[in-house]
Amino acid sequence: MKFLYVSNVSKAKQYAGILKKVAGQTEGVAQLGWEAHYTCVDGSSVLLCSADGSKLQRKDFPSGLRWHEQQQSIARCISEFAADGRYDAVYIKGFLANPYALQTAASAKNVNPACRVIFEIATYPYWGEYKRFLHVDLQKKDRRSMAGHLLEIWQHATTVPHMKQYVDALAVFGAPISRLWGIPAITIDNGVAVGKIAPKQVSSSDGTIRLLGVAGTSVAHGYSRVLEGLAQYKKEKAPQDPEVCFEIVGANETIEAMKARAESLSLGSSSAFLGYKNAKELSVLYNQCDAAVSSLGVYQIGLTWLSPLKSREYCAAGIPFLYAYEDTLPKDVAFAMKIPNDSSPVNIAAVVRFVERCRQNPDISRQERQYAADHFDWKIIMEKVLRFAGAADKS
């Protein structure tokens, strides 16, 4: 049986993490016995790739197009792949409903009416994100960006009534929901290919507690809360209390803002900005650090539930972590510390106690990694999605 993961994610370096997720989901389906492919964009071409990332086909479109013209060209190429492949299941990566997804779904159904089409909603509820987008556009007086976001909202409003004609199921990241747009929905976790992430190795400590944050492009990381908590901890710590250092990976405008904040708080060596790191370099950092920091700022985008990809990677690596949102994680797991989903500074003294408890459990990394293998591996998650959409019995 044949599976197609539809994405228009670019192969450019800054989108490597997103494309890694696309490939991971596709490989998870391949592990279930399907012939699985995915699409991505490389310059002015759309690629059809196998689950292992090797290129199968390429379709070119004109360069220099305006945004909506480019989206139309990409959708046309992907729709041709969907029609030519006569797939049994098509999974479309999305956010809001849009005519390009609808075009691909229709193409897949037209050549194979039995094809099960699944549309992914990356964040639910989604309007909090768009309110923030528009707020930022207003602040920056970016008319072009605002026009683009308003166009996406208009496309969503005009496309939603037609989605149920071609889409069999929704795969939703975020708040639990069973039906949306008149379509059955399943809420799923973000996942990882656990076997491709090296397990954390126990390393000797010099007494300093090292926290690691891997920042994406969203303000939802909320890492300024850690910086503010560190400033408070430094003022109040007793001589015998351990030093704490927060090491931040990433290279974008949110990082520059955090650098300025760290300087204004006079954190000195208590914070370090490491720039961009690849997967191998991150693995080394996981070994060196005591705990990682997941998203702490989802209150800024009006969300309560979240399933961040980075927290799943932390879990697979076996590094304990902090988080500030509702998740499918049991509240009593020893390897994760939940903090309030608000703007308050992180209680670093409480984090120190959490890390010290983790250090006293030599088996904690293995337990955490096993939890990831049982719950967050893409093979397990995608099997649930296919079964929900009525496609699992085809494999």
CATH class held by domain 195-375:
alpha beta
Tokens 């969203």, residue?
218
Beta pairing class for 244-249 and 209-214 = parallel
- Checking DSSP bridges between strand 35-42 and strand 45-50, what pairing results, if any? antiparallel
Query: How far apart (Å, rounded) are the C-alpha atoms in residues 108 and 389?
Result: 15
The dihedral through the CA atoms of 192, 14, 199, 347 has a sign that is: negative
d(CA 269, CA 80): 55
Helix 99-111 to helix 67-85 angle (10° resolution) is 20
DSSP assignment string, 234-277: HHH--TTSPPEEEEEE--SHHHHHHHHHHHHTT-GGGEEEEE--
| CATH 3.40.50.2000 domain residues, the chain | 195-375
Distance of alpha carbon 267 from its chain centroid, rounded?
30
How far is residue 379's CA from residue 24's CA, in Å, rounded to a whole number? 9
- What letter does residue 332 receive in the DSSP assignment? T
Each residue's pLDDT, cut to its tens digit, for the chain (395 residues) gives: 999 999 999 999 888 889 999 999 999 999 999 999 999 999 999 999 999 999 999 999 999 998 889 999 999 999 999 999 999 999 999 999 999 999 999 999 999 999 999 999 999 999 988 998 999 899 999 999 999 999 999 999 999 999 999 999 999 999 999 999 999 999 999 999 999 999 998 776 788 999 999 987 567 899 999 999 999 999 999 999 999 999 999 887 788 889 999 999 999 999 999 998 888 999 999 999 999 999 999 998 888 998 898 999 999 999 999 999 999 999 899 999 999 999 999 999 999 999 999 999 999 999 999 999 999 999 999 999 999 999 975 54
Q: Which CATH number fits domain 2-191+377-394: 3.30.70, 1.10.3210, 1.20.1420, 3.40.50?
A: 3.40.50
Long-range contacts of 177-183 (CB under 8 A, 24+ apart): 177/124, 180/121, 180/124, 181/97, 183/119
Angle 253-256-262 from CA coordinates, rounded to 5°? 145
The answer to whether 19 and 11 have CB atoms below 8 angstroms apart is yes
- What distance in Å separates the CA atoms of residue 299 and residue 292, rounded to the nearest whole number? 20
Which among 299, 328, 293, 331 is positioned nearest to 313, based on CA atoms? 293
